[in-house]
Structure 1
């Protein structure tokens, strides 16, 4: 189970409360301005302007608690730097490949750990990742025309974006390669794959099994398959429980994954 739900909140042009002074307050103001929002240092003014988010960076504990209470009473979500007990949300370490953003959070446990993970990923993700994302957005009409069925479209994109695929995001993939792939892409084939789990630990899945689990269009599983394994599947992929002797697979276009806890 995840302890918090990561969300990307559009803030451009909107008021955001940032109270206090010092390094923490300055850092939050820079972050708010980077997102295109309008920081205001006055909590009452921010509430009147319709702010939805408040960063309470007061150094004094009593003032911080009072401001948090006032902001929450007005319906604002609150972040209080260095006071996790007063926070409705935490601020992740952000890797920027706009419009691709990778947010790394530790639930307030260690900003240093989040930063070091981001620095490692900085070296892995090419600057062209943003270009690829913009090209995919522009190509949506062409993708729908080439693959009218949503399942086939998703399967074709999964294969193209996979490691070693023609649009592998960890290589210098851009608009030219997308256009070439789209002109040559073959119709994806429907398939059924059975995985017999080696353990209840999702880390024991092979890389191939993890990719199949993350891209399957339908998950058939025995009742004993642990939730930790099922959580690795696509959130929007339907899940159906199957009995010990059931082998019949529903007619589905795309990849059907059958998860068992023991071989048949």
Structure 2
């Protein structure tokens, strides 16, 4: 199975106390981040322990002071972030692209905050400012979607069809948020039972075609023929069913993707 360096989570802290220790340029961005997320800053370790605070940011200039504070906070049950000391961190903070309520978080596990920032700056240029409006419109449409498609898999298939590239609600179309009501009114369930057969010859996910990558991201069922590399399977939906390919197994609702592993023979010298 393909491994990831850390588990990405979105932690809701509105109205909750968060410990922030330290002064100066290292601590100030953490204070702004906590306040932006609605948290209440506590700057005293003893008080944080008494109040049962769960998150701590530590940004002392003195490395030894950071180490001691991290140990004390962790012993009190807090998850700890020490600025510029990834080896002391239980969690790291990503570079955030904000299209409220849609957030894109880019992290490197503490390897390079600068890299995360510049990836975010590139994405800022290509992701429409109206993505947040699209997210809110889709949220408002949930009751109507549940009435039209009572079954969860049917709703997901309908939304997938609309949001894919060139779909009725393509996220890269800045005007998509205006089309949600009409889409809900007029939409029909995409044809069920679609089956696609893909033969893979490379273990590198970068060698996937755009179509193959899209099918991996949308498939309800993966039928696996051979030792398909974990790096390829990591591109599939996490909740997609995964089964070995057997006679008659390519039959069911939703999108089924048959993945056949047929690696290219290694080149031999002359």
Q: TM-score, normalization: structure 2?
A: 0.93
Which of 49, 54, 57 pairs up with 2:51? 49
Q: Secondary structure at the match of 2:68?
A: helix
Q: Counterparts of 2:144 and 2:87 in 1: how far apart (Å)?
A: 49
1:100-119 equivalent positions in 2, closer than 5 A: 100-119=102-121
Partner of 1:15: 17
Partner of 1:154: 156
Partner of 2:179: 177
Paired residue total:
260
Pair 1:8–1:35, CA change in 2 (3 A): same
Structure 2 gaps, min length 5? 264-270
Contact 1:151 1:253 in 2 (8 A): no
Q: Counterparts of 2:89 and 2:189 in 1: how far apart (Å)?
A: 49
Q: Secondary structure at the match of 1:32?
A: helix
Partner of 2:189: 187
Query: Residue deviations 1:11-70, cap 9 Å, x none?
Result: 000000000111011110011000000011101111212211000111112211110000
Which of 218, 226, 229 pairs up with 2:229? 226
Partner of 1:128: 130
What is the CA distance between 1:148 and its match in structure 2? 2.2
Partner of 1:73: 75
RMSD: 1.4
Q: TM-score, normalization: structure 1?
A: 0.95
Partner of 1:261: 261
What is the CA distance between 1:221 and its match in structure 2? 0.4
Q: Counterparts of 2:29 and 2:178 in 1: how far apart (Å)?
A: 39
Contact 2:19 2:43 in 1 (8 A): yes
Q: Counterparts of 1:170 and 1:232 in 2: how far apart (Å)?
A: 21
Structure 1 gaps, min length 5? none
Partner of 1:214: 217
What is the CA distance between 1:250 and its match in structure 2? 5.2
What is the CA distance between 1:124 and its match in structure 2? 1.0
Contact 1:194 1:257 in 2 (8 A): yes
Partner of 1:95: 97
Q: Counterparts of 1:148 and 1:46 in 2: how far apart (Å)?
A: 46
Contact 2:170 2:176 in 1 (8 A): no
What is the CA distance between 1:173 and its match in structure 2? 3.6
Q: Counterparts of 1:26 and 1:185 in 2: how far apart (Å)?
A: 49
Contact 2:168 2:176 in 1 (8 A): no
What is the CA distance between 1:174 and its match in structure 2? 4.6
Q: Secondary structure at the match of 1:23?
A: coil
Pair 1:204–1:175, CA change in 2 (3 A): closer
Query: Residue deviations 1:153-181, cap 9 Å, x none?
Result: 21111111011111111112454301111
Contact 2:130 2:177 in 1 (8 A): no
